[in-house]
């Protein structure tokens, strides 16, 4: 089954919207995309600054946490996004555990993972914020944007489509291969 992209002009938070869609039984697999988050969330209750022009998405799907542990999903999520962003820059993109991607020590991407239970099944919601075009101003954190480090045209729709295709492949692998295969492939 392929991921459906569900687009909104504005939402409170893409993770909150994904939770709402799962609980309403409208979508149990999808990618929420928005141009603006009113109250984007980061880890440990931090706020995610949502400057228009950047990417704000949440991918959600049913998971089997016996097969693959939640910590492994965090690494898999970071590796997928890192691989896609590497296509746009020659700079090294590093993972700052547990959930940030950095270029030259500055944040370019944040990932927020949440697990919810719905009808005795577990769903992984992965919120991804990527500073593609604008580097947010944040007194507590040094940020950058992909545009600053790239000589390529930055098209958010193309990047989101690449993310979707990578997650379609991940979900296929999770459903059709064993955990060891998945862990090695997304190492």
User: Which range of residues forms the domain containing residue 94?
Assistant: 5-185
What does the pLDDT read at residue 22? Answer: 97
Q: Looking at 59-68, 92-101, 137-146, 169-178, which range is the least confident one?
A: 137-146
SS (H, E, C) 40-52: CECHHHCECCCCC
Pick from 121, 150, 130, 124: nearest CA to 82? 130
pLDDT at 117 over 90: yes
pLDDT at 49 over 70: no
Total domains, the chain = 1
Q: What is the CATH number of the domain that holds 40?
A: 3.30.930.10
Pick from 63, 159, 162, 66: nearest CA to 113? 63
Q: What is the pTM of this model?
A: 0.91
Give percent of the chain above pLDDT 90.
Answer: 61
Report the chain's mean pLDDT, rounded to a whole number.
89
């Amino acid at each position: 089954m392929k991921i459906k992209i569900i687009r909104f002009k504005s939402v409170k938070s893409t993770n909150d919207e994904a939770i709402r869609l799962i609980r309403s039984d409208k979508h149990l697999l999808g990618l929420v995309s928005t141009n603006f988050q009113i109250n984007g969330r980061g880890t440990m209750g931090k706020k995610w600054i949502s400057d228009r022009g950047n990417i704000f998405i949440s991918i959600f799907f049913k998971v089997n946490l016996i097969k693959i542990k939640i910590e492994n999903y965090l690494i898999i999520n970071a590796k997928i996004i890192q691989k896609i962003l590497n296509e746009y820059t020659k700079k090294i993109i590093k993972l700052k555990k547990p959930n940030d991607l950095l270029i030259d020590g500055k944040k370019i991407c944040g990932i927020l993972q949440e697990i919810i239970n719905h009808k005795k099944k577990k769903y992984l919601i992965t919120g991804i914020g990527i500073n593609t075009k604008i580097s947010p101003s944040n007194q507590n954190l040094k940020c950058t944007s992909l545009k600053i480090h790239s000589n390529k045209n930055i098209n958010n729709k193309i990047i989101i489509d690449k993310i979707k295709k990578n997650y379609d492949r991940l979900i296929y692998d999770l459903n059709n291969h064993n955990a060891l295969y998945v862990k090695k492939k997304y190492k």
